[in-house]
Structure 1
Amino acid sequence: MIPLLDLKAQYAAIRSEVEPAVMRVLASGHYVLGEEVARFEEEYATYCDVKHAIAVNTGTSALHLALLAAGIGPGDEVITVSFTFVATASAVCYTGARPVFVDVEPMTLTMDPAKLEAAITPRTKAIIPVHLYGQMADMDAIKAIADRHGIPVIEDACQAHGAEYKGRRAGSIGVSGCFSFYPGKNLGACGEGGVVVTNDDDHARQIRMLRDWGQEQRYHHTLKGFNYRMDEIQGAILRIKLRHLETWTEARRVRADRYSTLLADSRSVRIPAAMKDRRHVFHVYAVRTREREHLQHSLRSEGISTGLHYPIPIHLQKAHADLGYQAGDLPVSEAAACEVLSLPIYPELTLKQVEQIAAAVEQDAYVS
């Protein structure tokens, strides 16, 4: 069976580095927000080419705190997209604000700047583009509109570690950028984790307090904060994995390029678009097909696992029915949700396996 993701293979490759680091943390007796987390923050800020990185417990927490630092609260509106993981909208709701959805571009499935300006109202206080599947949204166009209206942009880069837009790293363009270190991410912890990156000194200071019960000094609570601290073991593991991230990213890109070459003239699927002005890091390699269920079943019968990212857009989720959206409101997002199918992609996947998967996809075109 070819799995969609193989974390065991990744661990086996770096086990000799990870286990001593974990044992050092255990022996230290310091398990939360210690030296390992602090050093990871410094190293990740350098990687993203920003001044500050503030480590937290999840990517959702990163989004929540970035919004709070930007002053978002009850009665405000935050524009984002519906074709993403639900946490993007949930973080907005945590602040008391209302998510407002715009549709995505047909090629990249990221925020469509052409739909953005019409969604802005006097209540719009932030814009969250999502760098979906590892490719950044059209940040110049989005930022131009946001700047014209004086609205901050917060990047949801939870799937885009190391992605670039015209040479600029994900997270470095908006007022802040938010990353997830969920285990399956390109840079994943052995558990949960997240980070906010920013060049804004005041935002960084607020987020550091908010993640640790609103205190800048122990037992002196300046803000009403949260327990969003990163574990020291995760900091140690992420430091090790960060050293491998560029090698892993290039391995992903090689495998994505091989898929795209083999499936360029496919009768079964459409391959994902990789824009020339962006560095796509392929957290997910999502093809599109109107025969998704059939193809997924066919690949499963050949011992190939696949995934769905994401089969129901947020605006059609029952949990967010109170926002008042209906089927047909975001047609590009809704069409994508019915068609995307994620093929296995990870650094340990062999090129021979990529060829086997592509052949199985093409075989399905003739069978069907």
Structure 2
Amino acid sequence: MFVFSCWSSSETFSGSSLERLPSSFIARKRAPLLVRPKQQVRVLSLQASNQLEKLQKLTVIVADTGDFEQIIKFKPTDATTNPSLIYQASQLPQYQHLVDDAIKYGKSKANSAEKRVDHIRDKLFVNFGAEISKIVPGYVSTEVDARLSFDVEGSVRQAEKLIQLYEEIGVPKNRILIKLASTWEGIQAASILERKGIHCNMTLLFNICQAAAAAEAGATLISPFVGRILDWYKKNKGQEYIADNDPGVVSVKEIFYYYKKFGYSTIVMGASFRNKDEILALAGCDRLTIAPKLLKELMEADGEVVRKLDADEAKKKNIERIPTDEKSFRWLLNQDPMATEKLAEGIRSFAQDIVSLNKLLDKVLV
């Protein structure tokens, strides 16, 4: 999210009076392209001075943070949130006004404490997302409750509720990406939502079978988790990896070339990086969402950045289509212990964050 167009994924925020930068979207196949008015394009100097600027020339950068101040600092095009980030940010005094507004909303919508908390939580997610939308000109990702990861109808209902809440405060749905876990049910929910014009970001993605199914469903964007894949292999294989043979990097490259080979318009956004080398090994990927710590490292480094992924190379590769029916999906995922374990672990973790946030809001209500 810098020169041409960069995204950001959020973790902590800070109130801002910046005016929303307008942007428009046009549909291309089933995935929208962000079109920014010429006068709004942030132009880099002709001589890129650090690795971050050089990387920006090859890949759209998304800042992986929910901190408003960090988003302003790194000037991303997009941002993403999740329950962990909202939980952390909601406890900071500078965002208390967003919490207060959500509490007021929840109290007006329900009588029982449990339902009030649900309304407050959803409104809180939207309040943070709306503030971020004033800073970034592109997408803001907002996550559906992880406890709905195996509930198609429940996921669709909550997604529609979140979109309605955004629209009620003037944020159009073409600015929002609904984040869904890449379970079979999550992908089916994405298919329904995309047909309704609600764009989706498939998260907790660890295997190409998930990516293939998400593309067939018309998902706008996927977020394969590079670092979490590496974590599993280091723990279970007992060896260290360099960037070129990093299992997470290899997985994203495989997905990238699969998409380009068969002409899918779904965006590949590498996520969850553990070090700078993983990022540079994916230079040329559609998008990379990067935490502030690693953005800072890239900004302070002046080494060369070489394109590692090239869409034109896909034409030369011998790649077979992956079956995306339910039976094939479940079998292929089951055959990958890393993907199976990390998907389940991620859902449990995000679900616990929702529970923790609910408890925090419950205490505030009391």
Whether these two folds match at TM > 0.5 is: no
TM-score, normalised on structure 2? 0.34
Which structure has more helix as a fraction of its residues? 2
Bigger radius of gyration among the two: 1
TM-score by length of 1: 0.34
